[in-house]
Structure 1
Amino acid sequence: MHAFDASAPLPTRLLTDPAMIAACAARDVGAVFRLAKTVGLYHSRIARLCEMTPSRVADYVEGRVCAQRHTVLERVADGLRIPGAMLGLAPRDWESARSRVSSQAGEYGTGEGSLPDPRLTRGLNPRSRTVRLGLFTQAVIETSRAVDIDIDTRGRAVVRVRENVHNLGAHPVTRLHHDFWFERTVGRFDVRLSHGVGSGDGQRLERLHDTSTLSKFVVCLPEPLTPGDTARIEYVCTGGVFDDRLFWRQTIARPTEQLWLRVRHRGPQRIDACTAVQEHHDGGETPVGTRVDRAPGVTELNVIRSHLMPGEALVLRWHRDEPPAR
Structure 2
Amino acid sequence: MVPRNPIEPTWWDTQFHGGVHMRQILAARDIGAVFGFLHSRGWSWAAIARATDLGDQRVREIASGRRKVENYDVFLRIAAGLEIPKSYLGLGLQKPDHQPATELAHAAVSDADRYTPIPQYPNGPDPITHLDDQKRSDLGHMAGNTIYLDNRIEIRIGSDGAACVAYRYEIFNLTDRPLTRLARDLWFKYTDGGLEIAPAPDCSRRVVIQRVHDTLNLAKFSCKLSPAIQPGESATIGYTCRGGRFVDALYWRQSIYRHTCKFAISIWHQWVEELADCSAIEEYPNGSERSVTENLVWDRMEDGMIISLTRENLTPNQSVTVSWGINA
TM-score, length-scaled by structure 2: 0.57
Q: In 2, distance between residues paired with 1:259 and 1:158?
A: 19
Letter in 2 for 1:179: D
Residue in 1 aligned with 2:44? none
Letter in 2 for 1:125: K
Q: In 1, distance between residues paired with 2:137 and 2:289?
A: 26
Q: In 1, distance between residues paired with 2:221 and 2:263?
A: 21
Contact 2:178 2:230 in 1 (8 A): yes
1:230 aligns with 2:234: yes
**For each residue in 1:1-55, what CA deviation from the matched residue of structure 2 results, as whole angstroms up to 9, or x when unmatched?**
xxxxxxxxxxxxxxxxxxxxxxxxxxxxxxxxxxxxxxxxxxxxxxxxxxxxxxx
Q: In 2, distance between residues paired with 1:221 and 1:195?
A: 14
Query: Aligned-pair distance for 1:132?
Result: 4.5
1:109-188 to structure 2, matched below 5 A, reads 122=132, 125-126=135-136, 128=138, 131-135=139-143, 138-188=144-194
Letter in 2 for 1:189: L
SS of equivalent residue, structure 1 residue 203: strand
Bigger Rg over Cα: 1
Q: In 2, distance between residues paired with 1:123 and 1:161?
A: 27
**For each residue in 1:148-170, what CA deviation from the matched residue of structure 2 results, as whole angstroms up to 9, or x when unmatched?**
00000011100011111110001
Q: In 1, distance between residues paired with 2:312 and 2:147?
A: 13
Q: In 1, distance between residues paired with 2:188 and 2:215?
A: 10
Query: Aligned-pair distance for 1:283?
Result: 1.3
Residues 132, 225 of structure 1: CA spacing in aligned structure 2 closer, same or farther, 3 A cutoff? same
Give the alignment partner of residue 265 of structure 1, picking from 259, 263, 269. 269
Q: In 2, distance between residues paired with 1:257 and 1:205?
A: 25
Q: In 2, distance between residues paired with 1:312 and 1:124?
A: 27
Residue in 1 aligned with 2:220? 216
Letter in 1 for 2:245: V
Letter in 2 for 1:142: Y
Contact 2:169 2:236 in 1 (8 A): yes
Letter in 2 for 1:208: V
**For each residue in 1:165-218, what CA deviation from the matched residue of structure 2 results, as whole angstroms up to 9, or x when unmatched?**
11000121212211222122123311111121xx13532111111111111111
Contact 2:280 2:320 in 1 (8 A): yes
Q: In 2, distance between residues paired with 1:124 and 1:193?
A: 32
Contact 1:122 1:228 in 2 (8 A): no
1:49-60 to structure 2, matched below 5 A, reads none
1:240 aligns with 2:248: no
Q: In 2, distance between residues paired with 1:320 and 1:186?
A: 22
Contact 1:195 1:201 in 2 (8 A): no
TM-score, length-scaled by structure 1: 0.57
Give the alignment partner of residue 285 of structure 2, picking from 266, 281, 285. 281
Letter in 1 for 2:288: G
Q: In 1, distance between residues paired with 2:302 and 2:179?
A: 46
1:89-100 to structure 2, matched below 5 A, reads none
CA-based RMSD = 1.8
Report the count of equivalent residues: 196
Contact 2:272 2:326 in 1 (8 A): no
Letter in 2 for 1:178: R
Residues 307, 210 of structure 1: CA spacing in aligned structure 2 closer, same or farther, 3 A cutoff? same
**For each residue in 1:72-131, what CA deviation from the matched residue of structure 2 results, as whole angstroms up to 9, or x when unmatched?**
xxxxxxxxxxxxxxxxxxxxxxxxxxxxxxxxxxxxxxxxxxxxxxxxx75672465xx3
**For each residue in 1:210-269, what CA deviation from the matched residue of structure 2 results, as whole angstroms up to 9, or x when unmatched?**
111111111111112111101111111001111121000010011111110000001244
Contact 1:252 1:312 in 2 (8 A): yes
Letter in 1 for 2:310: I
1:39-50 to structure 2, matched below 5 A, reads none
